[in-house]
Amino acid sequence: MDLLHQTDYIKVMHDKSTGIFEYHWTARNKELDETGYQRELLNTMIFVHQIKPELVIANTQQSTFVVHLEMQKWLIEHVIAAAAQAGMKKLALIVSQDFITQISIEQSIEDTAEKPFTTQYFGSVEKGRNWLMSFVKD
């Protein structure tokens, strides 16, 4: 697993052997304002555009950043659409332990008019990775 980028708020990795791209929010993301949250996601999207992963793990287990309605619109336009354009096919979303945070993230994905990729929700990274591994081409 190659570490591509890390800050106090997010860790971005890529497993070349499986093609799985991962980003993990840290508990410190609660310290971010909306601009900081957007900055972290845009930096992550740079790697998505470079690598063009089909399989992605988004780990929000430790996240407590609540994605409000305006931010949900921004996510749909700048992250979800861009990830689909880069070739993402499957997203394993590892759910937040914070109920409000999780609902706000799920709503962002569910509010996307066209579902450009398949999303499954999991309680652990291991379960999400196992699901994605079933799509890894030999």
pLDDT in tens, 55-108: 999 999 998 888 888 888 898 889 988 999 999 999 999 986 655 555 656 665
Which stretch of DSSP H or E encloses residue 88?
none
Q: For residues 75 and 45, is the Cβ–Cβ distance under 8 A?
A: no
CA-based max dimension of the chain:
42
**CATH number of the 2-133 domain:** 3.40.525
Residue 76, pLDDT score? 84
Read off the pLDDT of residues 2-13 as tens digits, 9 standing for 90 and up. 999 999 999 999
pLDDT of 113 strictly over 60: no
pTM to 2 decimals?
Answer: 0.86
CA distance 49 to 86: 6
pLDDT at 38 over 90: yes
